[in-house]
Amino acid sequence: MSMKGKDLLSVHDLSLAEVEQILHLARELKAKQKRGEEHHLLKGKTLGMIFQKSSTRTRVSFEAGMWQLGGMALFLSANDLQIGRGEPVKDTARVLSRYVDGIMIRTFSHDEVIELAKYADIPVINGLTDLLHPCQALTDIFTVLECKGRLKGLKMAYIGDGNNMVNALLHACAKVGMDIAVATPAGYGPHAGAVAEAQADAGISGSKIVLGHDPLAAAADADVIYTDVWASMGQEQEQAARAKIFQDFQVNRALMDAAKRDAIVLHCLPAHRGEEITDEVMESAQSVIFEEAENRLHVQKAIMALVMGNEKGAVKK
């Protein structure tokens, strides 16, 4: 199966076979890197990286990943592009298609990413929007697979804000047959459209999706505990108000005690220690948060290799 030329805007858009292909290649590329073996699957290729939101992990992992794959990446902020001065997205898409081999965009509006992909003749990778964070969600299930050896039938509990992260995790879990229980304050649940898409996939995979407002109930017998910041980028002015609303949704030792004894803890970072997660839990033996952060590199390398040049997903010898 070839993914060459395919956009990656949402995990929901991928087939199960494509998700498995990404996870398999990520595992191969990670092993090659650990052995110090070259894997220049994108030699001579260039990735244009559009950033309208700041980043640590997204920029460094994509930029380093392209270099390790034998290509190069161009950092393009809104200040660097005419898109920041009013050039239509469709014009930017058609111009960049003539210069680079792929585009990664990290921005606010998901519609902007959809329009970019519509008019670009090259693959577009969603590095984050206010609606979805698909590269992170694929990284998360890859990390679970590494730790647990399987995905289908496991239970993830997501505790906190119903933001782009949980929307993407609903897609990812439903696609691979993982159960997911979401606990958010009333009025702060996940996007209805993302829930509907996940439920459609769950009907195929057998995944169970439970939405509620009780963190302990969600965490009961969970194999994975997941959380994210209570106020995402662009919501900083709501930080104080959200801290009060979300105070009972902290991932702490009491919540971990409701999960399975061997449950792992994930967080997409950056973390506000002492708010959505305690320092004790983040530094505990159950935390694989920094392994998860590392895996952004390997999973995104797999995505880039598959959509920008490596048609079959097999690492060249």
Please indicate if the annotation marks 133 as binding a ligand. yes
| Residue 296 designated active-site | yes
Please indicate if the annotation marks 269 as binding a ligand. yes
Given 228, 250, 267, 298, the catalytic residue: 228
Please indicate if the annotation marks 282 as binding a ligand. no
Given 39, 110, 296, 298, the catalytic residue: 296
| Residue 136 designated active-site | yes
User: How remote is the C-alpha of 126 from its chain's centroid?
Assistant: 9
User: How remote is the C-alpha of 10 from its chain's centroid?
Assistant: 9
| Residue 228 designated active-site | yes
Please indicate if the annotation marks 134 as binding a ligand. yes
Please indicate if the annotation marks 179 as binding a ligand. no
Given 12, 110, 171, 268, the catalytic residue: 268
Please indicate if the annotation marks 270 as binding a ligand. no
- Alpha-carbon separation of residue 164 from 167, 168, 180, 229 (angstroms): 5, 6, 15, 11
Cis upstream peptide for 270 (omega within 30°): yes
| Residue 106 designated active-site | yes
The amino acid occupying position 152 is K
The Cα 229–Cα 250 span in angstroms is 10
Given 21, 52, 68, 136, the catalytic residue: 136
Is there a contact between 261 and 239 (Cβ–Cβ < 8 Å)?
Answer: no
Please indicate if the annotation marks 61 as binding a ligand. no
| Residue 179 designated active-site | no
Please indicate if the annotation marks 173 as binding a ligand. no
Q: What is the DSSP string of 56-114?
A: SHHHHHHHHHHHHTT-EEEEEETTTSGGGGT--HHHHHHHHTTT-SEEEEE-S-HHHHH
Please list, residue by residue across 58-94, b when 16 or more beta carbons sit within 10 angstroms of its beta carbon and e when fewer do. bbebbbebbebbbbebbebeeeebebeeeeebeebbe
Please indicate if the annotation marks 39 as binding a ligand. no
Given 12, 39, 106, 267, the catalytic residue: 106
Please indicate if the annotation marks 232 as binding a ligand. yes
Please indicate if the annotation marks 250 as binding a ligand. no
Given 39, 133, 171, 191, the catalytic residue: 133
Please indicate if the annotation marks 233 as binding a ligand. yes
Please indicate if the annotation marks 126 as binding a ligand. no
The amino acid occupying position 138 is L
Q: What is the DSSP string of 142-181?
A: HHHHHHHS--TT-EEEEES--SHHHHHHHHHHHHHT-EEE
Please indicate if the annotation marks 228 as binding a ligand. yes
Please indicate if the annotation marks 41 as binding a ligand. no
Nearest CA to 316 out of 70, 1, 65 is that of: 70
Please indicate if the annotation marks 98 as binding a ligand. no
| Residue 272 designated active-site | no
Q: What is the DSSP string of 229-249?
A: -SS-TT-GGGHHHHHHHTTT-
Residues annotated as binding site?
Answer: 55-58, 82, 106, 133-136, 164, 228, 232-233, 268-269, 296
Residues annotated as binding site for L-ornithine?
Answer: 164, 228, 232-233
Active site residues: 106, 133, 136, 228, 268, 296
Residues annotated as binding site for carbamoyl phosphate?
Answer: 55-58, 82, 106, 133-136, 268-269, 296
